[in-house]
Structure 1
Amino acid sequence: MGLRLDQRPFSKVTVVFAALVLSLFNRVLVRTTGSTFNDAVHITAIVGESVVFNCQVEFPAEHPVPYVLQWEKKGLEIPIFIWYDNYPTHSGSGYEGRVARVSPDSPYGLASLNLTNIQESDQGWYACKVVFLNRSPTNKNGTWFHLDVHAPPRFVTIPGDVQYINVGDSIILNCQALGTPTPEIVWFKDATDVQPTSTVGIFNDGTELRISNIRIEDIGDYTCIARNGEGQISHTARVLIAGGAVIMSPPTNQTKLEGEKVEFTCGAKAMPGNVTVRWSREGAFVKSISSLETRVTIKKDGSMVINPVSADDSGQYLCEVSNGIGDPQSASAYLNVEYPAKVTFTPTVQYLPFRLAGVVQCYIKANPPLQYVTWTKDKRLLEPYQQKDIVIMNNGSLLFTRVNQNHQGRYTCTPYNAQGTQGSSGQMEVLVRKPPTFTVEPDNMYQRKISESVEMYCDAQEAEGTQKPKIQWQRRDGAPLPKGRHSIHGGNITIENLRKTDFGYYHCVASNEVATIVTTTHLVVEGTQPHSPYNVTANASETAVTLQWLPGYSGGPDYKQDYTIWYKEPGMTEWSRIPVTPSGSTQVTINRLTPDTTYEFQVVGKNALGDGMLSKVISIRTLAAVPLTVAKKTSPAPPVTELPPPPSDDVVDYSDLILPTESSGATLYPPVFRPKGPKPGPPRNLSITEVRNGFVISWQAPLERAHLVRYYVIHYKTDGIWRTLNKAQIRAEDTSYLVKSLVGGRTYYFRVVAYSLKSFENSEEIKFPVPARVKHKAITAGVVGGLLFFIVAIILSVCAVKICNKRKRRKHEKAYNMVACRITDARNGGQIPGTSQVPLKKSRSTRISSLSSGCNVVLNMVTRSRSSSFLDQDHDCVDGAQHEQRRLGRISRSADGRFVLTRGDSRSSSLSSSSDDGGFLSHPSFADRTRSPQQRPPPLLPSMPSMPMPPPSSSSLFYANEHWLDLTSPVLPSPSSHSSASKPLSVDDQYEFDPVFPVSPTPTDMMMMATRTPTTPSPSRSRTPTQLKKAKYENVEARLQAMKEEFYAYKRRQAEMARMGYVESAC
């Protein structure tokens, strides 16, 4: 259904809506003439110009019909232009006022579109569409257009006109431009194109010019040019060396009279020149000082004007300039305002203490300083110089050395200086009154332990006619009283929970209008660390510094104080420490210091409670080193040769090297100065990881100069002192270290030090709190280890006891064998046992300890007789069974003084042993032994023809000759007469040898006698037993004489053997 022209026109909104709907409908049903982009019309335009899209309208059958014209742009949903006759047109967003249908009278087609003020965003594809109304939609008309928009370059980012930099800095100049086609950017420096170098580069398609490590030759004008086919633009940036503000005309000190005008200059220059000037006095901005606010002015050139000046304006004024580059520069000047001397305050009444010293004040202010003051009393001129008890003080006040009633009156003062005076003071009434007095004074000293309390008493009373004095407590050093721990009640002060800082002198001050009186007490706090040493002085030489100081309080009479010196070079972080010796000394000399070097020193005291406080730091510089001199010796005259000798200066005698000496004359050997090499880089990424068997400290090698690292050292601390963790050096290839144990619940600090050949560098410190469970593991391990050690100790103790008992048993067995296995048993046919004969411990009946000492002599004799035949035989003890059957006998002494052995059994109860056998054998025991006559040795003693010999069995003389034969010849039989004798006979019943000096011959005696000339055998050997028995009691004196000679011979043998190193057995 078509739209009739004669109908009433629709509203504007209705037509637009209908056109949009129709446009969307035709998007599907209508296709334009020329259905491909290949038939499109290409148009080129420049930004800002206008262009006409020429579109013809071909009516059906060439008859005009109503139509709707619309222009679309590819990429936009809504057409940019819609036209229908007699209705308002529609313009798309961004095209308002720039699109319009050309006039029908123009040479362009009826559907042509005029686009004005072209922009770069207008570039693209455009379609012209014509929709005929009241016609079939198959007939359509339109065409495609492509608009190319060209734009000259334009900058979107440019650098600043002036760039201020410092030498060595880096800078980036950014220059970005847009245009169609895309513009090309090039850089020029001072009309020359920039060529990339190691420090200059162009990046990001030429938009960035980067300059690193700027040098002086890099300073200049840099131009950025953006160009394309439509034109070019440029921008220039000037790179200058930045300079902070510099004061060119600093202020100077000035002196002005009160009321005059003063001006301080402060001219400055800078690059850039945006200089800011700030004036201040004593740290306060002059505009913020109320007394100067209305009288001060700061000019544009930085000058400050004060008009007029007053007496209070005197002081130091500071001018500070800055342009934002570098540190601000400053300069100061002093303003001295002079004025006549004047009295600033006049009290109406002043008091003087009776019979004490007192002062009448005159409050004066003067610049220049006060020259003199005149005083009047009761309107009469006072001449203080003519009175012995009045003195004018430097500040103009009157000092009365001893006040009396005559000093009471009305006083005035008039001050003078170089500028004159501003007048006298008003009248001051001076009254003489009695001062307050102390009624209770504190003790001279209070001694308390730390953490205890102390109460110090003080009170005062006023004189008649005066006010009650006010009592206050103060510390003599000016420090405040302990806050929260002291209380004052009346005149008494109580300090609780005493601390080390409470030590010192305290003043009790009582004051009223007449006078102020003071009393002092000393509070000593005992049981603390030492106080700081003070009055530290130093005396330096080239390589040594001597320190002296006064000791601080040691902490109490029970504590001894030692000292330690801390010193370092300025700028160093770690202090070196040297203990002072001898103990308690207050002077020390530190040697081996570097000449011409400043050192800082501190002294700290130490007692049993720990280190005290450090003294104040004292700095001293060692003296410059004295150049070493070398004495040169002249070489002796060389012999005549063809070649000339070397010059004498080449011969240097280094033995004459002169070194500096101390005051005592001792040589000072300066330290060897080793140059420090390049430092390695610091180790990095230090970390600690807990593992099963401890903690692993790991790090990474330095980023810089890692090749210089020779080894690593790990430091740790839990307090303020660093300690070395690893015992040996850690190789440079290793970057981890295992710590097997750390104390649980404690916080550690670690650092790794990388050492090069001559220097080192520390890593950053890390903090590592050890978990508390590690401590529990350590405790458990310690308990288990202790239990295991205790068990092992018990086992070892038991083993030791067993071994000791075994050795003791063996020792007893050996002694027992030597006692039980006797020579007499061998002669009596004793058997050699095969087992040990030591009795059991509990078998006390078999103990023979009483016989052990008696047989030690036998043992010694047997061991010395290496040539004896019985040593080749086994002579062990009787076995246990046999020993149990035959009990040991009891040794007793008979009436004749001989030892008798009584057997335990009935068989030997009636028998006794002779003293010749040692008391261990009974006579019947010889019946079982046989002896060959051929084995009998020759007699050992010379024959005595005049003395009849007793029978060999009973005579002690014969036993002395024959006993050794019994020992060495056990097979010889004993005489048969012994079996019938009940008691052995002796030469004399009243004589018996001392057992200490036995007469039995020893192997040594036999060897000595063997060397002698043989003598004729004694005739007594041929006598019969009857003859011997008959002559038994004949010639007693001869027998006694023979016994004495035998005794004397025995003594001679003993002496001779003692000289030869032998000892004859007493057994």
Structure 2
Amino acid sequence: MSDCCLTAPPRFSVTPEDIIYVNLGDAIILNCQAEGTPTPEILWYKDANPVEPSATIGIFNDGTELRISNIRHEDIGDYTCIARNGEGQISHTARVIIAGELPLGETNVTIPCPSKEVCMSGGAVIMVPPTNQTKLEGEKVQFSCEAKALPGNVTVKWYREGVYVKEVAALETRVTIRRDGSLIVNPVSADDSGQYMCEVTNGIGDPQSASAFLNVEYPAKVTFTPTVQYLPFRLAGVVQCYIKANPPLQYVTWTKDKRLLEPYQTKDIVIMNNGSLLFTRVSKERLGPKDRQAQWRCWCVSPLVFTVEPDSLYQRKVGETVEMHCDAQEAEGTQKPNIQWQRRDGSPLQRNRVRANGGNITIEGLRRTDFGFYQCVASNEVATIVTATQLVVEGTQPHAPYNVTANATEFAVTLSWLPGYSGGPDYKQEYTIWYREAGVSEWSTIPVTPSGSTQVTINRLSPATTYEFQVVGKNALGDGMLSKVITVRTLDVGITRTLPSPVSEKDFPRSPEDACMFYGPGPKPGIPRNLTVTEIPNGFLLTWQSPLERSHLIQYYTIKYRTDGPWKTLNKGQIRPEDTSYLVKNLVGGRTYYFRVLANSVRSYESSEEIKYSVPARVKHKAITAGVVGGILFFIVAIILSVCAVKICNKRKRRKQEKGNDPRNLLIT
């Protein structure tokens, strides 16, 4: 018998699809398996170059699988699988194409294909985006924008600050868009700095874009030289220096009467960051012709002055009209001032109710919103001056409270605020608190007591919960404006705080009965109510009321107490849900106790408000008196029993003696 060796050339049993559509950031596996004798070797090539394994590309399972994770631009292309042995070689090529857009920055925005059979083309993808560049004025700049697509009829458009470059008049004669999509600006000018964006499309999907910034540097230059500048006499004034420079100017040289001016050695003159001269107090001695590559004159003139000023306060009622007067006088040889009225808070004037006549202003049909400060502003080329007045509108609902602050504990939040205008001296203001849990649509309200108080504590809140609060004032005319919403989060029961009412889980040691309970996320029962302590003949009775809500979740109650130290458990066993009282027999007289009742569910609990109870000192004295009286009584009883015992013993002894002297006993003997 002789051996027979059979051989066979390679043939593919599994190959990847001819075209594979992917999205940037995806992961794919190209599977290529071949049969033959001897077993074929599998090799992988990308665009005619061997595939080099990397952090995102790997070859596995004896070369049959090419895995690519987190696909990037450079991973797009043709992948060829080659199977070879001693009998021959075969190959198969798969093309990997992006189906959709290129992500901008870190965001993936893609247009998925409904199926690989239907999606036979891909949108344009920017392969080489433009990059930020810095050029000197007069140089040439070129921004690249290389794109690929299937089909490859790519259209490239360039925009500067959102405007098509062909429509920018300043660029029209200096800009060129090349066939490869790149943008050329030659030469660049100082005004060409800005954001440039290229947009590519082949009609499939949305256009893709990428941006870059052009920074044009140029030497400092004077852009405007006024022949005369006016400064206000005996006030501060600025000699403007209109300079343009990139990078920003480092220093400016000033001359006066063709001599170098040294502001740092001159009193009352400072060079500002923009190169202008600041005169902290203008005097005629400081001024004269000055030049900086050009010459102009500075004149010292008297500033504007108000000849008519508004009253410091105007008080009117709702619906009435107010007229405020203002006028100013310019210096000789200067322009007449422009006088305008404005609100100090920046709010616009209601033009349909406001009339201006020169420097006077009239507001008709006054409303609550007209309340505030107003400014009369007079200005000309020399100076700008301002005077202010306050307008008070009476007979309105209260204005919104402001400066609302909050202090949170685990189960309560204390709010304080500053009152808004009450509506007039004849109106008394009361407050109401609006609050709700964050994310809940309905508001709850609590009136503030005592009336007129600007501080209140809202109790029975849940720990580690975010709440929203607003304060609203009210007078005889109705509700006023709500304050700004303030968001407050109550403390977690595990957070240590300095207030004397800790409700931390670790401050509430568990009794043996609930030592195995797990306190974690879960439905909470309601809050026990109206915890009180009452002294009765045989001790002290703690009573409370069941929660108004979720009382069906209660498994048992626990009573916690403390004096000067940590919280301790008062009850030895669990208190049943239907029981709402507990008798304490021994409390030390003259000592202060703090109590809480915990309503426990299966996985959580809620605590009542903490109450304080001071045990009367007479309880201690009563116990001492009872002890003394008991001791005396015990001593008396002991004496009586001792006397009785002695008498009984003596009586028995006499009986024995009498029995021994009886003659009948002698005869018998």
Aligned to 1:412: 291
Aligned to 1:606: 473
For residue 137 of structure 2, the aligned residue among 258, 274, 277 is: 258
Q: What amino acid maps onto 1:666 in structure 2?
A: S
Question: 1:470: how far off?
Answer: 2.9
Aligned to 2:256: 377
Alpha-carbon distance between aligned partners in 2 of 1:587 and 1:355, rounded to the nearest angstrom: 53
Q: 1:834-853 residue pairs with structure 2 within 5 A?
A: none
Q: Is the 8 A contact 2:470 2:486 kept in 1?
A: no
For residue 269 of structure 2, the aligned residue among 386, 390, 400 is: 390
Alpha-carbon distance between aligned partners in 1 of 2:153 and 2:136, rounded to the nearest angstrom: 36
Q: Is the 8 A contact 1:392 1:398 kept in 2?
A: yes
Alpha-carbon distance between aligned partners in 1 of 2:488 and 2:128, rounded to the nearest angstrom: 38
Aligned to 1:660: 495
Aligned to 2:391: 523
Are 1:291 and 2:291 counterparts? Answer: no
Question: 1:310: how far off?
Answer: 2.0
Are 1:437 and 2:305 counterparts? Answer: yes
Aligned to 2:429: 560
Q: 1:39-54 residue pairs with structure 2 within 5 A?
A: none
* 1:804-841 Cα deviation digits (max 9, x unpaired): xxxxxxxxxxxxxxxxxxxxxxxxxxxxxxxxxxxxxx
Question: 1:289: how far off?
Answer: 3.1
Structure 2 SS opposite 1:481: coil
For residue 330 of structure 2, the aligned residue among 462, 484, 489 is: 462
Q: 1:484-503 residue pairs with structure 2 within 5 A?
A: 484-503=352-371
CA RMSD of aligned residues (A): 4.3
Aligned to 1:448: 316
Q: 1:128-277 residue pairs with structure 2 within 5 A?
A: 219-221=115-117, 238-239=118-119, 247-267=126-146
* 1:737-763 Cα deviation digits (max 9, x unpaired): xxxxxxxxxxxxxxxxxxxxxxxxxxx
Structure 1 SS opposite 2:289: strand
Aligned to 2:109: none
Q: Is the 8 A contact 1:551 1:586 kept in 2?
A: no
Alpha-carbon distance between aligned partners in 2 of 1:294 and 1:568, rounded to the nearest angstrom: 63
Question: 1:351: how far off?
Answer: 0.9
Structure 1 SS opposite 2:253: strand
Structure 2 SS opposite 1:372: coil
Question: 1:265: how far off?
Answer: 3.6
Aligned to 2:233: 354
Change (3 A) 1:587 1:469: farther
Alpha-carbon distance between aligned partners in 2 of 1:353 and 1:327, rounded to the nearest angstrom: 60
Note the residue ranges of structure 2 that are not aligned, 5 or more in a row: 1-18, 24-111, 506-518, 524-669
Aligned to 2:373: 505
Overall identity of the aligned pairs, in %? 64
Question: 1:661: how far off?
Answer: 3.7
Q: Is the 8 A contact 2:374 2:391 kept in 1?
A: yes
Q: TM-score, normalised on structure 2?
A: 0.51
Aligned to 1:316: 195
Q: What amino acid maps onto 1:461 in structure 2?
A: Q
Alpha-carbon distance between aligned partners in 2 of 1:409 and 1:556, rounded to the nearest angstrom: 57
Question: 1:619: how far off?
Answer: 7.1
Equivalenced residue count is: 400
For residue 366 of structure 1, the aligned residue among 239, 245, 252 is: 245
Q: 1:880-1029 residue pairs with structure 2 within 5 A?
A: none
* 1:671-730 Cα deviation digits (max 9, x unpaired): 98559xxxxxxxxxxxxxxxxxxxxxxxxxxxxxxxxxxxxxxxxxxxxxxxxxxxxxxx
Alpha-carbon distance between aligned partners in 2 of 1:587 and 1:496, rounded to the nearest angstrom: 39
Q: What amino acid maps onto 2:213 in structure 1?
A: Y
Q: What amino acid maps onto 2:429 in structure 1?
A: K
Question: 1:253: how far off?
Answer: 2.5
Q: Is the 8 A contact 1:662 1:668 kept in 2?
A: no
Aligned to 2:282: 403
* 1:75-126 Cα deviation digits (max 9, x unpaired): xxxxxxxxxxxxxxxxxxxxxxxxxxxxxxxxxxxxxxxxxxxxxxxxxxxx
For residue 224 of structure 2, the aligned residue among 314, 331, 345 is: 345
Q: 1:801-820 residue pairs with structure 2 within 5 A?
A: none
* 1:197-250 Cα deviation digits (max 9, x unpaired): xxxxxxxxxxxxxxxxxxx999444xxxxxxxxxxxxxxxx446x876655444
Aligned to 1:307: 186
Question: 1:520: how far off?
Answer: 0.9
Alpha-carbon distance between aligned partners in 2 of 1:503 and 1:408, rounded to the nearest angstrom: 45
Q: Is the 8 A contact 1:165 1:239 kept in 2?
A: no
Structure 2 SS opposite 1:409: coil
* 1:551-583 Cα deviation digits (max 9, x unpaired): 5444434242535456665xx583645548556
Alpha-carbon distance between aligned partners in 2 of 1:487 and 1:258, rounded to the nearest angstrom: 52
Please say which structure displays the higher CA radius of gyration. Answer: 1
Change (3 A) 1:375 1:535: farther
Q: What amino acid maps onto 1:408 in structure 2?
A: L
Change (3 A) 1:547 1:466: same
Alpha-carbon distance between aligned partners in 2 of 1:268 and 1:575, rounded to the nearest angstrom: 54
**Structure of greater relative contact order (alpha carbons < 8 Å, 6+ residues apart):** 2
Q: Is the 8 A contact 2:433 2:448 kept in 1?
A: no
Structure 2 SS opposite 1:395: coil
Q: Is the 8 A contact 1:447 1:523 kept in 2?
A: yes
Q: Is the 8 A contact 1:549 1:587 kept in 2?
A: no
Structure 1 SS opposite 2:314: strand
Structure 2 SS opposite 1:312: helix
Alpha-carbon distance between aligned partners in 1 of 2:470 and 2:226, rounded to the nearest angstrom: 51
Which stretch has the larger CA shift, 600-609 or 348-357?
600-609
Larger fraction in strand: 2
Alpha-carbon distance between aligned partners in 1 of 2:410 and 2:186, rounded to the nearest angstrom: 58
Question: 1:303: how far off?
Answer: 3.9
Aligned to 1:574: 441
Question: 1:505: how far off?
Answer: 1.8
Q: 1:623-634 residue pairs with structure 2 within 5 A?
A: none
Structure 2 SS opposite 1:291: coil
* 1:848-888 Cα deviation digits (max 9, x unpaired): xxxxxxxxxxxxxxxxxxxxxxxxxxxxxxxxxxxxxxxxx
Q: TM-score, normalised on structure 1?
A: 0.33
For residue 335 of structure 1, the aligned residue among 184, 194, 214 is: 214
Are 1:481 and 2:349 counterparts? Answer: yes
